Amino acid sequence: MASDPFRPFETTLDQDTALHLLREATQGADDGELFLERRKSEVLSFDDGRIKTASFDASEGFGLRAVKGETAGYAHSTTIDEHALRRAVATARLAVGDGGGMMADAPGGTNRKLYADDDPILQATFPAKVDVLREIDAFARELDTRVVQVSATLSASHQEVVVLRPEGTLVTDVRPMSRLNISVIVEGNGKRETGTAGGGGRAGLIGLIARDHWEPVVREALRIAVVNLDAEPAPAGVMDVVLGPGWPGILLHEAIGHGLEGDFNRKGSSAFAGLMGTQIAAKGVTVLDDGTIPDRRGSITVDDEGTPSAKNTLIEDGVLVGYMQDRQNARLMGVAPTGNGRRESYAHAPMPRMTNTYMLGGDSPPEALVADLKDGIYAVGFGGGQVDITNGKFVFSCTEAYRVRNGKVGAPVSGATLIGDGATALKQIRGIGNDMQLDPGIGNCGKAGQWVPVGVGQPSLMIGGLTVGGSAA
C-alpha cells in the first residue's frame, strides 16, 4: 500500500513563494537548495518471549542551505510554512555575505527508479507482525534445547523527499526501507554465546516476514551461536588472514571507503590525499561505490542534493581513480559530483557519503585461498570496529573466525580482532576470490554525527601480515 503523497507545495507552502525565498537566500552564492522531508518509522522488538519495544515515529521538516566557497549556511525547521522559511533565509544568508559567487549548474535529471514507492509499514497489520515475531521465538527454541534467549526485531521506514533548487529544478524521491534482525543466545560448555543474522533493503516487509525467509535466518543465527560455544581463545601475532565474502566488506568500507570521500581528501586529512592516479592497492583490486543497485539498502535514486546516483569506480586494478563527491567538494576540487551527497534528515546538511561500496571478484576459488593459508585466521563474520580516517588504522572484532594451519580449517576461535591500516592492507592483498557477494542489508554508517544506511560487499580475500589480537598464550 502507498500512503498519501508528500506534497508540501500543495498543502503547506506555495512553490513560487518558496522559490523566491530560496533565490533570496542564495543570491551571490555558489550553490544551495531547499530540502523537504517527511518520514515515518516503526520498530517492533520481541525479546525473551514478550514484546520489548513497539515504537512509531513520524516527522517532517525542511532544511535550507546556501553555499559560498568552503562555507555553508544551514537552517532547518520542523514547520513547513512561509514564516519558518523566511527566518531560515536570514540564517542561511550569513554564509553568503556580500556574495560574488557564481551558481553551480543544476544536477542532471533521471527517469530511473530503483525501488517502489509503497510504504512497508502498511504492508502488514500490527497483530500480524507480532505473530511473526512470536513464531520466530518459538521456532528458535524448538530447534535446539540450548537456546536460552531469542531476540527478533522488525523495522520499517518510509522517507519522502523533495529538493528545490534556485534555478527552479524540482526533484522528488520516495525511499522505503525494511529489516528483520534475529539474535539467538545458547548455553553450553559452561558458557553463553550469541549468534545474529538478518537483513533487508529498500523493499517491503512482506518478503521478510514470510516463513520461507525467516526460518533460514533463525537457523543461521543459531549456527553462529553454536559454533562459538566450541571456540578456543584466538591466537595473537602477525599472520596471514583470509576474509570471507559479503559482510566482511565492512572492513573495506571503514578502513578504505571513508578515506576516499571527497571532503577528507580536499582538506588533506585522508591517508589517500594527493594520491590520485597512483598505485595504492595490489594489482587486481577494483573498488566501486554504486548507488544504483535496485532495492539495496545503500541505494538512492537521487542523492540528497538532487544528483542522480551513479556507479563510481574508486580504485581500478590497484590504481586510485576517483573520490566520492557531493556538490560542494566536487566544485572546490574541480570535478563532477558523483551522487554521494547524503544527509541523515532535513535537520542535517549533506556531505560526501558512501552508498554500496564493494570490491569486484577475482579468479581464485575461495577454497584455494584457504588452502594457501599456512598459519593464520579465516574470518567469516565481523562485529564492531574503529577507524582513524587520517591514517587508516583500524581495529575490527570477529564474530565468526577459525584457526587455519597448513591449509586446513580447524577450531573456531573467540576474541579475535584484526588490527592494521587500510593503505597497507590494500597493498598486502595476495588473493581475490571469485565469490563476490553483497551483504544481506544490515549496514549503517556514521560520520560527523550523522547516520545513513549503506551496503558493503567483497569476495573472499587473502591479506598478508595483519596483526591478530587474541587471548591465547
* Boundary (domain end) residue, out of 176, 206, 229: 229
**What mean pLDDT is predicted for residues 362-371?**
97
279 and 352 both lie in a single domain: yes
* Boundary (domain end) residue, out of 185, 202, 229: 229
Q: Mean pLDDT for the chain?
A: 95
Report the DSSP pairing between strands 232-233 and 237-243: unpaired
259 and 165 both lie in a single domain: no
255 and 181 both lie in a single domain: no
| CA 428 – CA 364 distance, rounded (Å) | 16
Strands (E), 244-292: 287-290
Q: Is the residue at 425 inside a domain?
A: yes
- Tens of pLDDT, residue by residue over 64-85, are 999 999 999 999 999 999 999 9
216 and 354 both lie in a single domain: no
| Confidence grade of residue 358 (pLDDT, cut at 50, 70, 90) | very high
CB 428 within 8 A of CB 464: yes
| CA 472 – CA 237 distance, rounded (Å) | 10
194 and 279 both lie in a single domain: no
CB 105 within 8 A of CB 92: no
| CA 299 – CA 257 distance, rounded (Å) | 16
108 and 20 both lie in a single domain: yes
186 and 331 both lie in a single domain: no
| Confidence grade of residue 282 (pLDDT, cut at 50, 70, 90) | very high
What is the tally of structural domains in the chain? Answer: 2
pTM above 0.85, yes or no: yes
pLDDT of 1 above 70: no
Strand-pairing partners, residue 445, are 452
CB 214 within 8 A of CB 140: no
Q: Report the alpha-carbon angle 272-244-292, nearest 5.
A: 60
- The answer for residues whose C-beta is within 8 angstroms of residue 383's C-beta and 6 or more apart is 396, 397, 398, 399
| CA 180 – CA 442 distance, rounded (Å) | 9
- Tens of pLDDT, residue by residue over 155-208, are 999 999 999 999 999 999 999 999 999 999 999 988 999 999 999 999 999 999
Amino acid at 220: E
224 and 237 both lie in a single domain: no
* Boundary (domain end) residue, out of 183, 205, 229: 229
Host domain of residue 93 = 8-229
